[in-house]
Amino acid sequence: MLQWLFAVDKTPRIVNGDLVLRSARPGDYRQWRQVRLKSRPFLKPFEPRWSERDLSRRVFRGRLRRNRVETTAGTEFAFLIFQQTADGEKLIGGLTLSNIRRRAAQFGYLGYWMSVDGAGKGVMTRAVAAILPFVFDTLALNRIQAACLPHNTASRRVLEKNGFREEGYAESYLQIDGIWQDHVLYALTRDRYRDARPPRAAHAGLERRA
């Protein structure tokens, strides 16, 4: 409990054109629930099992508390992805940097999900591109890793368009939709990222929370 009371949300607000990546707020609950519920048939083959009970306000609040503790420790940063419209911010997905390790490792893991309404429009490719300056310049990680199902061609394209390279194949890597499934492993190093990015792009769109 005390850990939560003294935790500070250090997640930045990141902008890439009409996309906004930021941490979840209590006021996001209704939209988050609606989007996740509507997208459930679309997401089910690619995520661990979850039920409608996992969309309760209590679970959402617990998620916000855990996020704040993790960001204070510097071990995880969870973002919601919004598209700016004339009516405000429309939630279309989420992205997480997790299991961040320091000392000799200096790496973390990238995970993401896209709503059924946002899929197939290049949104996640742009969102991942927007997060990379935070990964390599702000957090100063040396490496970011990701995994996806071998048949998830859309996810593989997102990673490959952002410079990730396929590194291997992991048998029974994660339990997806209730089944232990093999995954393809990808990674991007800081050197390869810096060699490929345009000049002056290091901190584009990165806004620190007040």
Domain boundaries, the chain: 2-207
With CA atoms as reference, report the closest residue to 79 among 146, 11, 8.
11
What does the pLDDT look like over 37-57, one tens digit per residue?
A: 999 999 999 988 888 888 999
With CA atoms as reference, report the closest residue to 81 among 125, 41, 51, 48.
125
DSSP string, 142-181: SEEEEEE-TT-HHHHHHHHHTT-EEEEEEEEEEEETTEEE
> Model confidence at 202, in pLDDT bands (50, 70, 90)?
very low
Q: Say yes or no to pLDDT of 146 above 90.
A: yes
Among residues of the chain, what percentage have pLDDT more than 90? 76
In this predicted structure, what is the pLDDT of residue 188?
97
Rounded to a whole number, what is the distance in angstroms from the first to the last CA of the chain? 24
User: Average pLDDT, stretch 136-154?
Assistant: 95
What does the pLDDT look like over 93-117, one tens digit per residue?
A: 999 999 999 999 899 999 999 999 9
Q: Half-sphere exposure of 110 toward its Cβ, with a 13 Å CA cutoff? A: 28
> What sign results for the dihedral spanned by CA atoms 20, 26, 30, 36?
positive
What does pTM read for this prediction? 0.88
User: Average pLDDT, stretch 163-192?
Assistant: 94
Is 3.40.50.2000 the CATH classification of the domain at 2-207?
Answer: no
In this predicted structure, what is the pLDDT of residue 9?
76
Q: Say yes or no to pLDDT of 207 above 70.
A: no
Q: How many Å apart are CA 169 and CA 110, to the nearest integer?
A: 17
The first and second tokens of residue 162, run together, are 């952002």
Q: Say yes or no to pLDDT of 199 above 70.
A: no
Q: What is the mean pLDDT of the chain?
A: 89
Among residues of the chain, what percentage have pLDDT more than 70? 90
